[in-house]
Structure 1
Amino acid sequence: MRRWIRFQILVVLMLVALVGTACAQPSTGVTPVPSQVPEAAELAPDFTFTSLGGESVSLSQQRGRWVLVNFWATWCVPCREEMPYLDELARGNADQLVVLAINMREPEDQVRAFVDELALALPVLLEPDDATLLAYGIYGLPMSFLVGPDGVLVERVAGPVTPGEIESRLAADP
């Protein structure tokens, strides 16, 4: 009987130690989600928003060119870090690609100050509606979607776009 009680105590202590060790492991932070290629050809949901310049911009207006749709916010650190790269990407591939940076409902003056600070030339769109956010499945920022010249969604990127990722797609385009 005494051996049985000792065995039970030993098992309980081992479980407590195991759970304590698992809970004490430091968090590694955000793990990047690899880009995802849709399984079947799917048209990217169309949208029309107003740019910082006051122009009406829609995804369907961009047919015939590659489009990188990027959802971002000024408070999002990875968004802030990737924005100069996205601007450079847009400038360097203007004949082939347009980058549409959709800000997540921040005051226009705050967005304008950020754009001016970084001297961004890419189109910045304001006030996305809930239907668009749901259609694109926005669950975190930044999120980007590469849309082919035919309007088909080619790739989803959760997290910052890494240099070379989009360029390799453009280079592979016949």
Structure 2
Amino acid sequence: MLLGSLLISGCEQDWGVDQHGQLVAAEQLQGRWLLINYWAEWCGPCRTEIPELNRLAESRTDLHVLGVNFDELRGEELAQAAEALGIRFRVLSEDPAERLQLSRSAVLPVTYLVDETGKVREQLVGEQTADKLLARLEQLRDQ
């Protein structure tokens, strides 16, 4: 019984559901670099940045792009907002801030690069390009 408890406690908790109501299972993200981007509908730079993030999400298998709505939209509201902005990457319904020990940013957009061990390696404030994000990712991997 003790061994069973230890095995269960060692399992990482899932990340909730995405904008489509699909489970974001922990094993889907384990051992991968994550790019977590906070966005809002009212944020102009967020809107400009989304095509860059779409491009990363669709072209990189070594990086998992996740979005988080700053205004904490859920369910159908989240799905509609993500669709309206043309988001093609997964958007988490639950904010991973507590899980990753992130403080709430006062500005948007804000992007976090999380390494394959789950450690937040970088906070990037302001609008990012795919090229800039990839360059920073490579620098972090080389450290």
The verdict on a shared fold, with TM-score over 0.5 as the criterion, is yes
2:44 aligned with 1:88: no
2:125 aligned with 1:158: yes
Q: Is the 8 A contact 1:71 1:103 kept in 2?
A: yes
Cα offsets for 1:21-45 (capped at 9, x unmatched) = xxxxxxxxxxxxxxxxxxxxxxxxx
Q: 1:54 aligns with which of 12, 21, 26?
A: 21
2:96 aligned with 1:135: no
Number of the residue aligned with 1:3:
none
What does 1:111-130 correspond to in 2, within 5 Å?
111-128=78-95
In structure 1, what is the Cα distance between the partners aligned to 2:137 and 2:110?
19
Q: Which TM-score applies when normalising by structure 1?
A: 0.60
Structure 1 or 2, whichever has the larger Rg, is 1
CA change 1:138–1:54 in 2 (3 A) is: same
Q: Give percent identity, aligned residues only.
A: 31
CA change 1:70–1:150 in 2 (3 A) is: same
In structure 2, what is the Cα distance between the partners aligned to 1:72 and 1:92?
21
Superposition CA RMSD, Å: 2.8
2:81 aligned with 1:98: no
Gap runs ≥5 in structure 2: 1-12
In structure 1, what is the Cα distance between the partners aligned to 2:56 and 2:69?
18
Q: Which TM-score applies when normalising by structure 2?
A: 0.71
Number of aligned positions between the proteins: 127
Q: Is the 8 A contact 1:90 1:99 kept in 2?
A: yes
CA drift of 1:88 comes to 0.8
Number of the residue aligned with 1:11:
none
In structure 2, what is the Cα distance between the partners aligned to 1:78 and 1:133?
26
